[in-house]
Every structure is written in structure tokens, then in C-alpha cells.
Amino acid sequence: MANNLFMAPMAGVTDCIFRSMVARHGAGLTFSEMVSAKSLVYGNKNTHRLLENDGVRPWAVQFFGHEPQIMHDAIAGLGADHPFDIVNINMGCPMPKIVNNGDGAALMKNPVLVGQMVEAAIRASSRPVTVKIRLGFTPATKNYIDVARAAQESGAALVIVHGRTRDQYYTGDANWDEISSVKAALKIPVIGNGDIFVPEDALHRLKTSGCNGIMIARGGMGNPWLFSRTLAALETGELPPPPSDEAIIETALAHLNEVAARRGRIEEMRKHLSWYTKGMKGSADARRQINGATDVGQMAGILRGMLSGG
């Protein structure tokens, strides 16, 4: 890895085009959207789109599931030649449709199963196996140390900790004191995740948490400069200014055009363009217009109009 700033896996966000954008701004490791181990085993064609990559290396594929044998078969089925570098097992997704099937954060309830999942993944692949966990399922059942140790003892190469319980979803503040306690308890690297929205957040957490790196999630949506500005500050001691509106629009247009050229559909760009332009003058009106746009030319015109004030 080029550095210790990771772009988090996010369903519906971190496709190959998005990963390319943040990698160009310095993200040291990117992750696929969540890939269902069961869907891979049963040959779901839509699942394979999640495994597309644009040559960005290194990158990790994040799998979700709760059956060790299915996890093994899904990873083994991709083969040693498939172009990804790291296996990550999702043990933190809080969404009901994931948790109700026993996947994602539901695994936090069962440290023994956590270990079995890691062991199954290791048997399937020579790639490093990592996990992403939360602090626990509920505030009353926090067991992050037990889960992290189970992963370590079963051979995990690295643990990523999101500093919230499942019940919190993405509300409240991430608890970095508890993330730090995981780092203190383990021998393998620990990456902290939660509430990194500006470079100052990243710099502070890298300095104070003891973690080996940080993972950026929502803060990176529409803001790849979070990586480049943080890296520059780490290298030079000086924080570069935020990007100009012109630079933001130029990047948003490049993203839009890439999606249009490769996918032929632009609906997914509505959320991305909203993230890029958040806080810019006229962004609320532009967002309304973008949500009603039906082709790439309309969207591009709306973006350019934000610079001209029209």
C-alpha cells in the first residue's frame, strides 16, 4: 500500500469508477462494494459487476455472508489470477436486509463464527484476509475486543474498526477511545474508521489513536481531495487549501462523463453530483435541476452554470 489512508467500502458508491477517482487523489487502498458470497457461488451475473476494476492497485474485495463454507467457495471460485489483492469480510454492515440474514453486523454476536469465517477465507486464498467490525451489536453487548482477538487468532492480517455499534447505524459520534483500545489489545495492524470529514480529522486521529491507519467513508463522497490534502499535510507539515469551485466542477464533469460513456445511464450520478457541489453557491437549486435531468448534456450544463452563476 502506498499509504495508510483507506477508502471505505460503501454499497452503491465505491464502484470501479469512484475508486479510480479517489486513487488518483492518493487513497492508499480502495475497497469494492459489498459482494455477496452466496450470490457468487450461485452465479448471480449482477454480482460480477461489483468485481470490475480499472487497474487500481492495490484494492480489496469485501465479501459478506455468514456461512464459512460458502465464504470459502466464493473466494476460491474467483481463482488466484483474479486481479484483487486483499480479502475483506464485512462484519459491520448495520442494514436490516443484511443483518436479518445473519450477515454483516450480525456476526458481532458470535466471535466463534467470526474465527471460522476468517479461517475459511484463508483456506480459500493466499491473499491477506482482513475484517471490518463494529464495537458490538448494541451498547449493552459491546464485544469488540473479543471479536477482534478471534479474528487475529484465526489468522486475520488486519482489523478495521468502525467506532459505533450496530444499533447506532451512522448516528452519534464514533468512539475513537474504544477504537484505540482495540489497537492496544492486538498485535496485528488496526485501522480506525468513523467521522473523518476534513483533513484535520484525519491528522488528529492518526496522531492520537495509535492506529496504523484510518479509513475514510462518507467524508470521501464527492471529496477525493480529502486524501490528497491529508497526504500533503503529512508529507510537508502544511495543509493545502480546499479545491476551488472550478476544480470541483471539473472533477464532477469527468466523473459524469466516465459514467455516461461506460454505463450509458446517468441516474446514479445524481447523488455523486449532489455530494460534489454541497456547500457551493446555488447548490440547492442545482441539485433540484440535476434530479430532473434526463441526459448527460443537461447535467453538464447545470454544473457549468454553477460557475457562471446562471
| Active-site residue list | 93
- Rounded Cα gap, residues 123 and 243, in angstroms: 45
- Rounded Cα gap, residues 57 and 49, in angstroms: 18
End-to-end CA distance of the chain: 43
